[in-house]
Chains A and B, each alone.
Chain A
């Protein structure tokens, strides 16, 4: 059983390779097609190679006001990322001890993850409509709306990113050795010092992972934004709006630009995680070096 690889290995390896091709093949097709020549259409074959559609997108003569939607999505993504990281780490720390309402928070997070997005989105939009009506009725008749990118939109995205953040924190602390913190306390560290100088450096790579989830899930979010974002659109919403009307490769160019941001963020995050792991491996311990 240990010599050579069984036949099932090769069958499954081919199956796995086919799955990966299935995952990436279509995406790569549209990245290529976004470099269609000016006369090119929505499908292969390529009709020349150019950056015509990409530059058209950036000149703003294309289909959407790319710049504004881009900035809005970026702003929202960064805010969602920051809030997700801070709230997830804090709540993850709380779950290491027993506390009242622990299971309420846990089941809220799980429910938020699996209740269909359209329902959450509809609920948030109803909530803000009712708040608006109350403000209009009792305080200010000319009040427009409290719905917006950083109110209802932010909330909608957080209901999607926070459960992931919390679950990642669970995974981290399942593997975490609490004796490290106890040792720090025994040496006189305050709880904050123990967190800042012992816990945080150890969990930092995974915390960056939470940030990666926070940003990318927000950057691509659609279902929850659909009803809750208010008057303005995010980039994915603009893109979805185009799917029914567009007949030019601009839509692929837009897709390529959005993906480029995703890939840049993924690379940055994974690179940082890799670097931190290497640093921990190199400097994290002086065990066996005869010090102390």
Chain B
């Protein structure tokens, strides 16, 4: 394994010579910038057609009017006024949208804090304690494989464990710790947070690990030699140098949870309101402008969070 990297850096002379048989200089080479356009153009077109233009449509449609069953392409703020209905009248109580965003931000914060804690220590273990490259790769792979399998399956996998008659409840009842099965284990805020942590800690582990393996081990030796304790090294050397990974991981987790409606739906028993779920509900009711208005609000809040976080680190430099 160790040598394969070195060999990767060298091309086989055979291969190069083999291709040389058809040696022929073309009279007119394509200009480099034209080639770049040809190479990058198709991907750009996909993003244009299926991401950028759709976003523009979301913004446009959010200002359209609607009735029970169709879109009316005329300017109207109804999507927004319907969304914020009662927000002023009900003061000082929060209106529906306000309560929903408080709930979403609460879930977001809990999931962020837990994934950061778990992700940081998992990455730390992989980067600093696993010395052999083969083991490092094997264990990273072990953490990655679930990411390649279905999210819904990983959600419903909690049902036999957390359900009313699930393993956890029957175990607790048997040991006599509780008399009745706990009801808050499944289809609750608890199970939503648990499932989100289960699904998305991966997004924290990868960037943090990526930052950590790039830390020069000599720096840690130096801190040790200069008399720093383990925790001082952690706070003053490792965490500052791992900061880019922490920020990128945080951006991933926060944006995923902000827009999530599937995990919150399935694990919350379709009972918990969240920012993403409002959009889904509005679409199901065919109220597209209201759905689009909610999408614009969600996008604005997400964008705000990302800008605040990317102030801390230049994403481009870290890839």
B47 cross-chain contacts in A, Cβ below 8 A? 105, 108-109, 112, 159, 162
B125 contacts partner chain A, Cβ-Cβ < 8 Å = yes
Of B40, B224, B299, the contact of A119 (CB 8 Å cutoff): B299
Q: Which of B81-89, B94-102, B144-152, B237-245 contacts A (4 or more CB under 8 A)?
A: B144-152
A286 contacts partner chain B, Cβ-Cβ < 8 Å = yes
When the two chains form their complex, are residues A284 and B121 in contact, meaning their CB atoms are under 8 A apart?
no
B20 contacts partner chain A, Cβ-Cβ < 8 Å = yes
Number of A residues with CB within 8 Å of any CB on chain B:
123
CA–CA, A270 and B142, complex, Å? 12
A142 contacts partner chain B, Cβ-Cβ < 8 Å = no
Interface string of A92-116 (1 = CB under 8 A from B): 0111010111111110111110111
B92 contacts partner chain A, Cβ-Cβ < 8 Å = no
A292 contacts partner chain B, Cβ-Cβ < 8 Å = yes
CA–CA, A227 and B114, complex, Å? 30
Chain B residue, CB-CB nearest to A88: B43
When the two chains form their complex, are residues A122 and B129 in contact, meaning their CB atoms are under 8 A apart?
no
A15 cross-chain contacts in B, Cβ below 8 A? 121-122, 125
B44 cross-chain contacts in A, Cβ below 8 A? 91, 101, 104-105, 108
User: Could you tell me the distance in whole angstroms from the C-beta of A231 to the nearest C-beta in chain B?
Assistant: 15
* Chain A binding surface, main DSSP class: helix
User: Could you tell me the distance in whole angstroms from the C-beta of B28 to the nearest C-beta in chain A?
Assistant: 13
A255 contacts partner chain B, Cβ-Cβ < 8 Å = yes
When the two chains form their complex, are residues B316 and A106 in contact, meaning their CB atoms are under 8 A apart?
yes
Q: Which of A18-26, A53-61, A64-72 contacts B (4 or more CB under 8 A)?
A: A18-26
> A126, A127, A240, A278: which has the most chain B beta carbons within 10 Å?
A126
When the two chains form their complex, are residues A158 and B39 in contact, meaning their CB atoms are under 8 A apart?
no
Chain B residue, CB-CB nearest to A283: B12
Which B residues, 265 to 314, have Cβ-Cβ distances below 8 Å to chain A? 266, 270, 276, 279-280, 283, 288, 291-292, 295, 298-299, 302, 306
A24 cross-chain contacts in B, Cβ below 8 A? 146
CA–CA, A33 and B152, complex, Å? 16
Of B14, B15, B71, the contact of A129 (CB 8 Å cutoff): B71
A108-B52, A226-B280 are contacts. A281–B157 as well, Cβ < 8 Å? no
A285 cross-chain contacts in B, Cβ below 8 A? 7, 10, 12
CA–CA, A29 and B163, complex, Å? 13
Of B22, B49, B255, B292, the contact of A193 (CB 8 Å cutoff): B22
Of B152, B159, B255, B283, the contact of A114 (CB 8 Å cutoff): B255
CA–CA, A248 and B3, complex, Å? 52
Interface string of B239-259 (1 = CB under 8 A from A): 000000000000110011011
A243 contacts partner chain B, Cβ-Cβ < 8 Å = yes
A193 cross-chain contacts in B, Cβ below 8 A? 19, 22
Of B42, B57, B156, B298, the contact of A252 (CB 8 Å cutoff): B156
A143 contacts partner chain B, Cβ-Cβ < 8 Å = no
B46 cross-chain contacts in A, Cβ below 8 A? 87, 155, 158-159, 162
User: Could you tell me the distance in whole angstroms from the C-beta of B85 to the nearest C-beta in chain A?
Assistant: 21
Binding site for A on B (CB under 8 A): 3-4, 7-20, 22-26, 32-33, 35-40, 42-44, 46-58, 61, 71, 118, 121-122, 124-126, 129, 139, 141-143, 145-146, 148-161, 163, 165-167, 170, 198, 201, 221, 224, 230, 251-252, 255-256, 258-262, 266, 270, 276, 279-280, 283, 288, 291-292, 295, 298-299, 302, 306, 315-316, 319
Q: What are some 28 contacts across the A-B interface (CB < 8 A)?
A: A8-B129, A22-B198, A27-B146, A27-B149, A27-B154, A29-B157, A90-B38, A104-B44, A108-B47, A114-B251, A114-B252, A114-B255, A115-B302, A120-B50, A122-B54, A123-B295, A124-B54, A187-B17, A187-B20, A189-B16, A197-B15, A222-B151, A255-B150, A255-B152, A265-B148, A281-B4, A285-B10, A286-B12
Binding site for B on A (CB under 8 A): 1, 5, 8-9, 12-13, 15-16, 19-20, 22-27, 29-30, 33, 41-44, 86-88, 90-91, 93-95, 97, 99-106, 108-112, 114-120, 122-127, 129-130, 152, 155-156, 158-159, 162, 166-167, 170-171, 175, 177, 180, 183-184, 187-191, 193-194, 196-198, 201-202, 212-213, 216-217, 219-220, 222-223, 226-227, 236, 239-240, 243-244, 251-252, 255, 258-259, 262-263, 265-266, 270, 277-278, 280-281, 283-287, 291-292
Given contacts A125-B283, A189-B19, A191-B35, 9 further A-B contacts (CB under 8 A): A15-B121, A20-B142, A95-B40, A97-B36, A105-B40, A112-B47, A190-B26, A226-B280, A251-B156
